[in-house]
Amino acid sequence: MASYLQIENISKSYGPKVLFEGIGFNINEGDKVALIAPNGTGKTSLLRILAGKDSSDSGGKVLFLKDIRIAFLEQEYDFDPEKTIMKQIMDGSRKWTEHLDQEHYWEYEIRVQRLLTQFGLTDTEKAMRDLSGGEIKRVALTEMLASEADFYIMDEPTNHLDTDAIEFLEQHLRHSRCTLFMVTHDRYFLDRVCNTVMELDRGSIYIYRGDYTNFLEKREERIDNYNAETEKVRNIFRRELEWIHASPCARTGKAKYRKQAFEAIKERAADSYTVKKVDMTDTRIGNTYLGNKVINCKDLSFWWGAPGADEKCYLNHFSYNFQRYERIGIVGKNAAGKTTFLNLITGGWKPSMGGRMEGVVELGDSLKVGYYHQSGMSFKPGQTVLETVADTHLLSRFLFPHDMLQTPVERLSGGEKRRLYLLTVLMQQPNFLILDEPTNDLDIVTLDILEEYLLEFKGSLVIVSHDRHFLDRLVDHLFVFCGDGVVKDFIGNYTEYRSFIKDYEAGLVAEKEKPAAEKVKTQSKRKLSFKEQQELKVLESRLEELEAEKASLEAILSGGTATADELRAASERYGALSEELDTAELRWLELSEI
């Protein structure tokens, strides 16, 4: 198996802070490697050095196999807001397409169209400035995947993606023959895609073959062995210390050598291994009392856009009384209205912000909302860590030591900014905590600790997240944003919800395959009204037509023989068809449950 990448003696520092020094490793063809390390220890810096976007302080070597093609996905995608989606991708793909003849260029364009459709971006003429963060990420991923490069370097590929996009990316990478080196905090994604975990710890590299669970077990063994060795060295150190104190300072070569060895032993004996973790046990980041009345929503609706045909409904007649101590997950596609919903129920929306709201939101007298926004915290240029949070003790508990207190916030890593922001929210001691995409940019160790804290949180919890592991551990039920303002309440965690959806879709297939007589018999037991029975029959017929049309469009998009106009028309129809199919399936489900 060919060695695709060899790293030798590379280092990186920022001022007095050493991220890593003299590290080296090897990646072979077909390896799919996840890099794990605490925030602020150099993960992104290492990726940028490998991608040629930055350089090692110590020289060293970054040697890729000759002629392999390398694609790099950065956390922040550099794009022109005035370009259309298609033009942005094709212009960004010039290094892959500039030497292609017309036939192969056409094949490349078809590949881009197919990936965009699979990512749910069917309007390729839409301007980049009009896209959400999740849509921009999907454009960036399309540009990278369309290259079909030999070696992918990816920095947090699942950030801002909805679950459908994550699962598509997951399947694509699992079945791809590419070699992969990535940073991710998504533990399910890591387990299902990667075959190797690489840890950057205290400036050194450790490699573990296998999944994330194997990494946790082997890492604990490594630390236990190191500490056991430290204890042995300490015993030797104590004996040597007795010799130093008991013996005169002999001038023999043997004595000099022993004294020099003593200094090395002394340094090693002091180096016990302790894992630095965020400490969330302080009472100053607890929560205050929450009364019986939390937030009551009555017939709440919200529209955005000009009244009439262009007005879009994001919430349609939603009624719900939030309860003390309940844990709700909010899921749905990008731009389905999840963040808008949070602003509505907490009073964050004002008429001057645009849009139109109807219905009533009543807030309890004891309610104290802590809102961790997806966009992160705002800060002034030059504002330091200590100026953001004046409590040095709490900062230390959140892994901001004394030498970081005067660091400007803009110089922190993405994860460090998120950790500082989380501290500012928890310091408010909320009893109703809203976390909008809290897992973005946080390292896995911090996520584990945050999960433990939230499991003990004595208040109401609302989480918007596409991190499946995070939702599975923390929520009791889900608000599923289905589009067009429809919100369904599902009792269970995220994995249970996905299992339900798969069973439901399998049921649709089975229903279509039933003999007509059996369908009539089944319908007669449901006690539907005559009008509802007729509607159900029409829906079943319509679903078959829509499924057949969907299969036909997928054949066109993936066949490689369609013209540009045919491909564009099929792509546009596919998007509208998917929405129509979702609406029809939802109505079929409502009628079948009567």
Residues 261 and 306 in one domain: no
Whole-angstrom distance, CA of residue 133 vs CA of residue 415 = 18
Model confidence at 454: pLDDT above 60: yes
- Residue 275 inside a domain? The answer is no
- Residue 278 inside a domain? The answer is no
Residues 10 and 96 in one domain: yes
Residues 438 and 350 in one domain: yes
Domain that includes residue 539, residue range: 514-592
DSSP letter for 150, please: S
Give the torsion sign (CA, 254, 258, 259, 264): positive
Residues 20 and 152 in one domain: yes
Domain boundary at 177, 193, 215, which?
A: 215
- How many domains, in total, are found in the chain? 4
Look up the pTM and report it: 0.74
Confidence of residue 348 (pLDDT cuts 50, 70, 90): confident
Model confidence at 81: pLDDT above 90: yes
Structure confidence at residue 259 (pLDDT): 66
For 215-254, the pLDDT digits (tens) are 989 988 988 888 888 777 777 777 777 767 776 655 455 5
The 432-436 sheet, strands edge to edge:
369-372, 432-436, 460-464, 327-332, 477-483, 486-491
Model confidence at 72: pLDDT above 80: yes
For 536-554, the pLDDT digits (tens) are 888 888 888 888 888 888 7
- Residue 202 inside a domain? The answer is yes
Q: Which one is predicted more confidently, 350 or 192? A: 192
- DSSP result, 7-39: EEEEEEEETTEEEEEEEEEEEETT-EEEEE--T
Q: Rounded to a whole number, what is the distance in angstroms from the first to the last CA of the chain?
A: 59
Residues 549 and 424 in one domain: no
Confidence of residue 190 (pLDDT cuts 50, 70, 90): very high
Residues 26 and 38 in one domain: yes
Residues 105 and 247 in one domain: no
Whole-angstrom distance, CA of residue 326 vs CA of residue 489 = 13
Residues 336 and 448 in one domain: yes
Model confidence at 587: pLDDT above 90: no
- Residue 288 inside a domain? The answer is yes
CATH of the domain at 431: 3.40.50.300
Percentage of residues of the chain with pLDDT beyond 70: 92
Helices (H), 389-515: 392-397, 414-426, 444-455, 468-474, 494-513
Angle between helices 102-118 and 564-592 (to 10 degrees): 20
- Residue 276 inside a domain? The answer is no
For 438-449, the pLDDT digits (tens) are 988 888 888 888
